Amino acid sequence: MVPTTETIPFQAETKKLLDLVIHSLYTHKEIFLRELISNASDALDKVRIEALTDEELSVDLDRLKIRLEVDKDKRTMCIIDNGVGMSREEVIENIGTIAKSGTQGFSDALDKMQKEGGALPELIGQFGVGFYSAFMVADEVELSTRRIGTTTDDAVVWRSSGDGEYELEEGTRKEHGTTVTLTLKAIDGEEEGQKDFTQEWVLREVVKRYSDFIEYPIELDRPPEKEEDELETQVLNSRKPLWLRPKSEIEETEYTEFYKHLSHDWNEPLDTIHFRAEGAVEYAALLYIPAQRQMDLFDPKRQRSQVQLYVKRVFITADCEELLPVWLRFIRGVVDSADLPLNVSRETLQHNHQVAQIQKRLSRKVLDSLSAMQKNRADDYAKFWSSFGMVVKEGIYYSDEHREAVAGLGLFSSTKGEELRTLNDYAADMPMGQKEIYVLLAADRESAQRSPHLEAFHAKGFEVLLLTDPVDEFVLQRMTTFQDKTIRRIDQGEIDLSDDADSGENEAKEKELEPMIEAVRKELSERVEEVRFSKRLTDSPACLVAGENALPQHLVRLMREQGQDVPDPKHVLELNPKHPLIESMGRQVGDDFGRFSNCCELLLGLTQLAEGSTPSDPGKFSRLVSEMMIE
């Protein structure tokens, strides 16, 4: 019987879309294979579903597979599956018509992508033109298919060269399923990065990249080395979507191997988070907390989430920035969504409600896991914090939602001892009568510990957290409370730690010294913003504090180190009325004005030295000191 061929024109819309696909998309052509394999995998899924519901259907589910075949001489490649196949009507409906989402939408998006840059793989899937992407690499596409459940070996053959029409023919096929045969375009030497899809290694690579975790085997015959060798079939994909397997069946080493494969990190991860979300938004997530800092952690070009997005086992993108906030960019892993459309565009991802929900849940999970590690595995956590603490702290700044939780993850130096402390430790150990959390910013732990600001806190037995990270300055702008307690910088503004008991005695002293403080004010009016009595000092005669709104000394130092020109900020000079030096200065007011003036200069210089900075006029300072040393 001569097969009857029917020629059917594409709908105008379909034709337009095809033209766009063929003529406008030049990069990432290899994704056609991902699309065809994904269609085959869908068709195989459908067999499994039909087998479940249709008792008459007898299929050996273990035989479900995808096969690739190439013929170098004819320049053809086939993608063969034994999936559900299609009836004639289904072929016309599914392959002959597109425009599900509209050609206009596609061409608009394409325009935008070409203007602003973007990735083709996302576009293709989003507009349901997966099948048509075959025309990017093929002059002719033929699809031969037989619906499952049919008793004869009749098949439907669809064929097109991607111009205005397609042909439908009758054919035969031994088994249910679909064969897509591409007559590949000739390799154009002019075009850069062209891949020859009749090459075994090319197929292996592309499958590995995009379809490695497809559940069904993707087979390809290994080319024989000698003519007489028998063909050997290889499976190109590893077929292990680890994240979709039940946790209880996964060995620790499998998790680790997958992590290494994913991250190119040879170290074991510190923690693995694996869960499936069911309900409104369905997905599986497998995330890892690395132990070692990645090289590109602070690379501005890589400041986005490094979690891979899959949709139904099909790889979509390696760094889906919508899956985790930027301050969790060190996390590695995979999210496999069951209900996102086979890849959404970047733009869609940004506004997708489900993706937002996934992000929320993932962030929560990571924070919980870190918090558990902090409680139960202190050594590992310390390692984690030294690698990634700097990045996590960005979360305190940026995340309104997680601020308190992220702050709770912090490890800080403290006046309490060598051990790093958390805000929770701190809050739990606060003595009665202490209302606020005290922190001191400094360049390092050593200089922080020398700070005169700490004296009254030592005397009271109040712990002070010593913040020595450059980012702490910014963190504190947002981290103003923890567990409803104010976080107070002890080098800024007025601090009153005095007991009511000795306030009477102090008041009398201060009154007595009033003329002295007035004189100091006059002497140093150019150099300090204000002179006042201190309620935070016990052993030192004086200290400098930042005004409520001034740049703290430590920050000024930091900015100067980075080459910025920062004028000396004026500080408040606080005097300790109980200190013998201050008492002595009190007695000298009015006596010998030259000497008092020098004393003021020296006092300011000494205080600056105690803070770890240099006296404003070092020459004058050392001259005055040597003069005083001469009897």
Q: Would you tell me which residues interact with ligand ADP (CB under 6 A)?
A: 35, 39-40, 43, 81, 83-86, 94-95, 128-131, 178, 342
Which residue has its beta carbon closest to Mg ion? 130
Question: Judged by CB under 5 A, does residue 415 bind Mg ion?
Answer: no
Minimum distance of ligand ADP from residue 88's CB (angstroms): 13
Q: Which is nearer to Mg ion, 39 or 126 (CB)?
A: 39
Alpha-carbon Rg for the chain, nearest whole angstrom, is: 36
Find which of ligand ADP, Mg ion, none residue 410 binds, CB within 5 to 8 Å per kind: none
- Nearer of residues 93 and 163 to ligand ADP, judged by Cβ: 93
Q: How far is CA 590 from CA 519, 531, 596, 604, in A?
A: 9, 18, 8, 19
**Per-residue CA distances from 552 to 58, 83, 475, 570 (Å):** 78, 70, 14, 10
The SS3 call for residue 309 is strand
CA distance 73 to 308: 38
Minimum distance of Mg ion from residue 318's CB (angstroms): 21
- Report in angstroms how near the CB of residue 384 gets to ligand ADP at its nearest: 41
Question: Is the CB of 219 or the CB of 617 nearer to ligand ADP?
Answer: 219
Which does residue 40 touch among Mg ion, ligand ADP, none (CB within 5 to 8 A, set by kind)?
ligand ADP
Q: How far is the CB of 173 from ligand ADP (least distance, A)?
A: 12
Q: How many other CB atoms sit within 10 Å of the CB of residue 13?
A: 15
Rank residues 37 and 285 by Cβ distance to Mg ion and give the closer one.
37
Task: Please identify, using beta-carbon distances, which residue of 100 and 587 lies nearer to Mg ion.
Answer: 100
Instruction: Choose from ligand ADP, Mg ion, none: what does 315 bind? Cβ within 5-8 Å by kind.
Output: none
Q: Indicate which of ligand ADP, Mg ion, none lies near residue 94 (CB less than 5 to 8 Å, by partner kind).
A: ligand ADP
Closest CA to 126 of 141, 148, 108: 108
Q: Closer CB to ligand ADP, residue 44 or residue 285? A: 44
Q: What is the 3-state secondary structure (H, E, C) of 30-59?
A: CHHHHHHHHHHHHHHHHHHHHHHHCCCCCC
517 binds, among Mg ion, ligand ADP, none (CB under 5 to 8 A by kind): none
Asked whether 466 and 413 are in contact (CB, 8 A), the reply is: yes
Q: CB 386 → ligand ADP: shortest distance, Å?
A: 47
Contact call for residues 291 and 383 (beta carbons, < 8 A): yes
Size, binding site for Mg ion by CB under 5 A: 2
Measured CA distances, 484 to 238, 362, 480 (Å): 52, 26, 9
SS (H, E, C) 133-161: HHHHCEEEEEEEEECCCCCCCEEEEEEEC
Among residues 166 and 457, whose Cβ is nearest to Mg ion? 166
Nearer to ligand ADP among residue 122 and residue 491 (C-beta):
122
Nearer to ligand ADP, 178 or 387 (CB): 178
Residue 349 partner contact from Mg ion, ligand ADP, none using kind-dependent CB cut-offs of 5 to 8 Å: none
Full DSSP string of 436-473? SEEEEE-SSHHHHHH-GGGHHHHHHT--EEEE-STTHH
Nearer to Mg ion, 34 or 489 (CB): 34
81 binds, among Mg ion, ligand ADP, none (CB under 5 to 8 A by kind): ligand ADP
CB of 28 to ligand ADP, least distance (A): 16
Least distance (Å) from ligand ADP to the CB of residue 341?
A: 8
CA distance 46 to 608: 77
Q: How far is the CB of 98 from ligand ADP (least distance, A)?
A: 7
**DSSP reduced 3-state for 514:** helix
Give the sign of the dihedral formed by CA 371, CA 374, CA 380, CA 383: positive
Question: Which amino acid, residue 587?
Answer: R
CB 328 within 8 A of CB 395: yes
Taking CB under 5 A as the rule, does residue 83 contact Mg ion?
A: no
Please report, in angstroms and rounded to a whole number, the separation of the first and last CA atoms in the chain: 128
Whole-angstrom CA distances from 398 to 280, 325, 405, 476, 483 are 28, 9, 13, 12, 19
Taking CB positions, which residue lies at the least distance from ligand ADP? 130
122 binds, among ligand ADP, Mg ion, none (CB under 5 to 8 A by kind): none
Site for Mg ion in 124-143 (CB under 5 A): 130
Cβ 339 to ligand ADP, closest distance in Å? 14
Q: Does 39 bind Mg ion (CB under 5 A)?
A: yes
* Smallest distance from ligand ADP to CB 343, Å: 10
584 secondary structure, DSSP code = H
User: Do the Cβ atoms of 550 and 530 come closer than 8 Å?
Assistant: no
Query: Least distance to ligand ADP from the beta carbon of 125, Å?
Result: 7
Closer to Mg ion by CB, 39 or 345: give it. 39
Cα–chain-centroid distance for residue 492?
Answer: 34
Return residues touching Mg ion (CB under 5 A). 39, 130
